[in-house]
């Protein structure tokens, strides 16, 4: 297990900013992961477990500890019935490769999460979701190394406290667990309408009448390709802001003023408002702020066009947040994690 020094984080994050990590090492097995975490803990050194770097922002000063790159592979069917299939997947597997494999098995449950960059181990951290699906709906359990007890543990779905783009892994217990694998329960039944509006519209345009996981995956890939820039071509971290979640009373006030405001009903008397729409209404879509371009096809995305570091990104972020706050009295939140 090699440990490298002074590794530039801009080469390992899709936003392409960030200074050097003091140390960096790859974890290919759960044992290597636990050893690296315990070594860091014993030396009172910070650590960060990095997947594909697509949902991570690094600072200009770098990271004064050890970056552990998640490389644990593995894929196994652990149970199967006439109606469902349970699959355990290594945390270092590429997320979209896993989705593609489920499609080949004619299993449904994660097809709408196609083409999301990153690793399987990162999926439960922010409870990835898109086009009407959330990964929490299919997760049975998460295997991890617990740095508090120095033991390997299995966390059931309810233990993970999943919410909208949230979990214990990025909440109060951030950094406590090193995820080694995730177990999913998928279904052998075909996905059923009604589908997410953009997906249904695409299917209707194609004249689709038979709905399969493959058809939904194809639709989602086409929609994402149109709206979201490829991070390998244009540096970005995907959706930079979470969609806004507001109270019903605030929504009632806003819809009276902005009658075309898109919205989605949620539990607990709340409404989800697309943050991309809010940013667009502020006139920022397509604008370049401190070297960061607000994507002209999806205002949730910030593209690093000429930013020289984290300070530029932070300035652009705060300018956008201030504009939305001033116009709508809504505080929008950043989605990517920060080192």
Reduced 3-state DSSP string for 224-252: HHHHCCCCCCCCEEEECECCEEEEHHHHH
Mean pLDDT, rounded, for 16-36: 98
Q: Which of 165, 185, 271, 317 is catalytic?
A: 165
Query: Looking at residue 172, what is its pLDDT?
Result: 85
Helix/strand/coil for 137: helix
Q: Which pLDDT band, with edges at 50, 70 and 90, does 180 fall under? A: very high
> Is 141 tagged catalytic?
no
Element (H, E) at 101: helix 95-104
pLDDT tens digits, one per residue of 55-111? 999 999 999 999 999 999 999 999 999 999 999 999 999 999 999 999 999 999 999
For the chain, what are the domain ranges? Answer: 3-70, 75-187, 197-227, 236-338
pLDDT tens digits, one per residue of 132-146? 999 999 999 999 999
> Is 76 tagged catalytic?
no
Q: How many CA atoms lie within 13 A of 304 on its CB side?
A: 23
**Buried b / exposed e across 84-114, counting CB within 10 Å, b at 16+?**
bbbbbbbbbbebbebbeebbeeebbbbbbbb
Element (H, E) at 277: helix 275-281
Strands 288-289 and 301-304: unpaired
Q: Which pLDDT band, with edges at 50, 70 and 90, does 267 fall under? A: confident
Cα 40 versus chain centre, distance: 26
Check residue 196 and report its DSSP letter: P
With 90 as the cut, is the pLDDT of residue 285 above it?
A: yes
Check residue 71 and report its DSSP letter: -
Token pair recorded at residue 252:
């009632």
For 236-338, give the CATH class.
alpha beta
> Is 239 tagged catalytic?
yes
With 90 as the cut, is the pLDDT of residue 181 above it?
A: yes
For 75-187, give the CATH class.
alpha beta
Q: Which pLDDT band, with edges at 50, 70 and 90, does 209 fall under? A: confident
CATH topology for 3-70 is 3.30.43
Distance between CA 234 and CA 230 in Å, rounded? 6
What is the pLDDT of the chain when averaged over all its residues?
Answer: 96
Q: Please name which of 219, 133, 221, 145 lies closest in space to residue 184, comparing C-alpha atoms.
A: 133
What phi and psi values does residue 186 have, to the nearest 5 degrees? Answer: -115, 170
Q: Which of 239, 271, 293, 317 is catalytic?
A: 239
């Amino acid at each position: 297990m090699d440990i490298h020094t002074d590794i530039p984080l801009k080469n390992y994050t899709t936003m392409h900013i960030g200074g050097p990590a003091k140390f960096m090492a790859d974890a290919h097995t759960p044992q290597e992961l636990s050893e690296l975490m315990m070594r860091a803990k014993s030396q009172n050194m910070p650590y960060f477990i990095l997947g594909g770097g697509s949902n991570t922002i690094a600072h200009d000063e770098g990271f004064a500890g050890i970056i552990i790159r998640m490389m644990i592979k593995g894929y196994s069917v652990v149970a199967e019935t006439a109606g469902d299939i349970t699959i355990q997947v290594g945390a270092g597997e590429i997320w979209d490769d896993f989705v593609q494999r489920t499609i080949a098995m004619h299993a449904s449950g994660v097809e709408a999460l196609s083409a999301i960059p990153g690793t399987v181990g990162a999926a439960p951290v922010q409870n990835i979701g898109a086009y009407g699906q959330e990964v929490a709906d299919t997760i049975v359990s998460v295997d991890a190394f617990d740095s508090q007890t120095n033991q390997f543990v299995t966390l059931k779905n309810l233990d993970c406290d999943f919410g909208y783009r949230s979990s214990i892994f990025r909440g109060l217990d951030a950094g406590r667990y090193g995820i080694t694998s995730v177990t999913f329960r998928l279904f052998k039944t075909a996905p059923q309408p009604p589908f997410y509006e953009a997906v249904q519209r695409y299917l209707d345009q194609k004249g689709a009448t038979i709905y399969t996981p493959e058809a939904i995956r194809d639709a989602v890939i086409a929609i994402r390709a149109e709206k979201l820039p490829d991070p390998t071509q244009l540096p970005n971290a995907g959706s930079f802001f979470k969609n806004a979640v507001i109270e019903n009373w605030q929504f009632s006030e806003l819809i009276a003023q902005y009658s075309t405001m898109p919205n989605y009903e949620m539990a607990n008397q709340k409404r989800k408002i697309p943050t991309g729409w809010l940013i667009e209404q502020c006139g920022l879509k397509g604008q370049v702020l401190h070297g960061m371009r607000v994507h002209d096809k999806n205002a949730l995305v910030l593209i690093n066009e000429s930013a020289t570091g984290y300070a530029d990104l932070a300035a652009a972020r705060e300018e956008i947040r201030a504009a939305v706050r001033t116009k709508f009295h809504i505080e929008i939140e950043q989605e990517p994690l920060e080192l």
